[in-house]
Homo-oligomer: A and B are copies of this chain.
Amino acid sequence: MAIPPASKLPGEFDLIARYFAPLSAGMPGALGLQDDACTYALPLGEELVLTVDALVAGIHFLADDPADLVARKLLRVNLSDLAAKGARPVGYLMTTAFTAETDEAWVAAFAKGLAADQAEFGVGLLGGDTVATPGPLSLTLTAIGTVPMGCALRRNGAKAGDAVLVSGTIGDGALGLKVLRHEFLELPSHERKFLADRYHLPQPRVALGQALMASGLVHAMMDVSDGLVGDLAHIAEASGLGATLRAAEVPLSSAAAEILAEATDLLPLILTGGDDYELLLTAAPNDVPALLGLAAEIGTPLSVIGEITSGAGVHVVDRDGGDMAMVTGGYRHF
């Protein structure tokens, strides 16, 4: 333990009592965040689903992003991973590494963002750790969910001939980041706001994920976080197969469609950019109508965008079936 940096914050115990303990109110096993560890009793017949994601200021979010949106994104990227397994989210543990520049107003707004999303998604804070860092503000969240024993969906179950489906719209997150960097200034302001919101505030498809799991019709599923083409390649590779992606059938928001109409060279960004947080899945073609109906009931659109093929790799094809060269592999973190 070295001397921690100077800080604008109250002490660790005060900070926890003031901002984080209230977030654990609905979780009796959190013990008010006043113990070494928390407990959680799993419902009978269910198994745990666990995932962890870290966000670093300047890498995964912009240093001047509003604190409440950073908090909600931190929680939502993890909920999206749970959704991809078909899990019901339960709670989370969180580590916050604050800097000498972090002030109490930031922490208060951060906690407020978490409280809003806890209410929206029915989760609570189970435990955490609060440390100081001389580096950028860094956040780690471990999310916990449950799924009926043996029913968690995986990436590796795709079968040759399966239809490939995706929820929502693709590319908004990558375009939203460009909006935040002052591109697309000619776009109407409501569309600029829509795209920026999609970057800041992903919509984890928690209800759809559970319904898809419960249908028993889905062969493979994951969430699209590293880019559609790269993530479809993950499903194909894990399943020992290939895939065809029909670019013209990839669902776009009206803002993304408008941008693409003006700048067709942005299609690769839309198809390979990250931060979509939609569900990507495969199922037998015969089961597609049932899945589309189920998605319509929940109110989240689902679109067929390609097929699983024998062979290997993802082939992106244009409207006429012609091959489109595409750099795959998703976002490289190093």
**Chain A residues near B (Cβ < 8 Å):** 1-2, 4, 7, 9-12, 15, 29, 31, 34-42, 47-54, 56, 58-60, 62, 80-82, 84-85, 87, 93-95, 97-98, 126-136, 138, 140, 142, 144-145, 147, 149, 152, 154-156, 177, 222-223, 234, 238, 274-275, 331-334
The reply to whether B82 and A37 form a contact with Cβ atoms under 8 Å apart is: yes
Q: What distance in Å separates the Cβ of A227 from its nearest Cβ neighbour in chain B?
A: 11
CB nearest neighbor in B for A137: B135
The reply to whether B1 and A275 form a contact with Cβ atoms under 8 Å apart is: yes
Complex copy number for this chain: 2
Which residues of chain B have C-beta atoms less than 8 A from A4's C-beta? 59, 332-334
The reply to whether A58 and B333 form a contact with Cβ atoms under 8 Å apart is: no
Q: What distance in Å separates the Cβ of A140 from its nearest Cβ neighbour in chain B?
A: 4
Most buried by B among A39, A128, A234: A39
The reply to whether A12 and B332 form a contact with Cβ atoms under 8 Å apart is: yes
CB nearest neighbor in B for A155: B35
The reply to whether B334 and A36 form a contact with Cβ atoms under 8 Å apart is: no
CB nearest neighbor in B for A234: B34
The reply to whether A131 and B49 form a contact with Cβ atoms under 8 Å apart is: no
Q: What distance in Å separates the Cβ of A271 from its nearest Cβ neighbour in chain B?
A: 16
